[in-house]
Structure 1
Amino acid sequence: MVRKVDMLQVLRQLGTAMRCLLVLTVLLGVGYPLLILAIGQLGLQHQAHGSLLTDNGQVVGSSLIAQSFSGDGWFQPRPSAGDHDPLASGGSNAGPNDGELAGLIEQRRQQIAVRDGVSPSAVPPDAVTSSGSGLDPYISPAYARLQVDRVARVRDLPVDEVRQLVERQVLGRSLGFLGEPRVNVVELNLALQRSG
């Protein structure tokens, strides 16, 4: 009698284990890979088509790659070691103890302060330092706001209108907690072109 009860328990536990194995195999062996495949396909479609920016049917850039903008009537991106060339992506490889880099940063700070009519201490760090790739399309909201008066003056637009344009372009933290608020300078300049 004792052996029958033990065998019955073993069979029940074996049945439970087999059902768990079947459910987990379907969920993790089929469902999860299909979910990841679907997410990847959506990402590829966005990468292939979603990042291209157009104006009047013409492709004018990508929301993923910064561009150089010449003239004081445009918002300026971060500096780039490769002049915003996607084929020359990379940093300057200069470290924080490099005296030449420190001098270059100070030179950029002075130039931006003069160009935008502000104190050198008001120039945010992203205005004078390049990103690791040299292609970062984002600037801080502080750097975008710093440029508002100059852009409005050169384009002969009301300062409030340009300021509102910047505020509409500010993106919050990813998922509400990752990274910092940012402004895509390529999209901002495209919106500026369309408004004026």
Structure 2
Amino acid sequence: MGSGKMHLLVSSIRIAAATMLICVAGYATAVWALAQAIAPDTANGSLIVGQGGAVVGSRQVAQAFTEPRYFWPRPSAVDYDGAGAGGSNKSPTSTEVANRGRELAERYGATPDNPVPADLVSASGAGLDPHISEEGALYQAGRVAAARGLETAPVEELVREAAVSPGGVLTPGRIVNVLELNLALDAMERTSGR
């Protein structure tokens, strides 16, 4: 290899290394630093710290609550695995999706006179949506109250207090973060002495 070609090869390697350093490491560091400066809680996973100081979850990732004393989240096609977000890729006309919806409706005790809200029987696109509709939470309030030996009215009031409007034309109605609602429910029960 001649010295001209060797010089060209070394120059090309230097340019590639500088480009990677600027475009990969530099850009990633700048985005990370900006996120830490503007919204550190979100940048660090929106973690929720429990009563004992341990992390109990994230505001951004659903968890599988199955006990009757807790509000249940939307179903998840990825079993609430934050490392593998994704939908089921099944059509709404899929027999499997229809059967899952039917089973969930039965689990909620739905009847023709008391239909279950759609978000409680259908997974979100990522399968990790931490929110349910206010209607979905109110639908579960009676079961949760009965399982804890509480009156339904204070549990419904807790749901209404926890509900927020996400805003925008595409997201009408109010939503509730299931983990935060369940933590508030535990705190309410502790303070009432039960």
TM interval, short-chain normalised: 0.7 to 0.9
Greater share of helix? 1
* 1:129 corresponds to which of 122, 125, 142: 122
Q: 1:79 matched to which residue of 2?
A: 75
Structure 1 segment 45-84 matched on structure 2, within 5 A: 45-49=40-44, 51-56=46-51, 57-84=53-80
Q: 1:11 matched to which residue of 2?
A: none
Number of aligned residue pairs: 154
CA contact (8 A) 2:35 2:43 kept: no
Q: Deviations over 1:115-134 (max 9, x none)?
A: xxx42552011010001111
Task: Calculate the aligned-residue CA RMSD, in Å.
Answer: 2.0
Question: Could you state the TM-score of these two structures normalised by the residue count of structure 1?
Answer: 0.72
Q: 1:157 matched to which residue of 2?
A: 150
Change (3 A) 1:38 1:174: farther
SS across alignment from 2:77 = coil
Q: How big is the shift at 1:42?
A: 1.3
* 2:111 corresponds to which of 112, 119, 130: 119
| Distance of 2:92 and 2:66 partners within structure 1 | 29
Give the percent of matched residue pairs that are identical in Structure 1 and Structure 2.
39
Q: 1:141 matched to which residue of 2?
A: 134
What amino acid maps onto 2:54 in structure 1?
A: Q
| 2:169 paired with 1:186 | no
Change (3 A) 1:69 1:39: closer
Unaligned runs of 5+ in 1: 1-36
Q: How big is the shift at 1:50?
A: 7.0
Q: 2:103 matched to which residue of 1?
A: 107
Q: Displaced runs of 4+ in structure 1, greater than 4 A?
A: 37-40
Q: How big is the shift at 1:103?
A: 2.0
Q: 2:94 matched to which residue of 1?
A: 98
SS across alignment from 1:193 = helix
Structure 1 window deviating more from structure 2 (125-134 vs 177-186): it is: 177-186
Structure 1 window deviating more from structure 2 (162-171 vs 52-61): it is: 52-61
Greater Rg over alpha carbons, structure: 1
Unaligned runs of 5+ in 2: 1-32, 190-194
| Distance of 2:93 and 2:106 partners within structure 1 | 20
Question: Could you state the TM-score of these two structures normalised by the residue count of structure 2?
Answer: 0.72
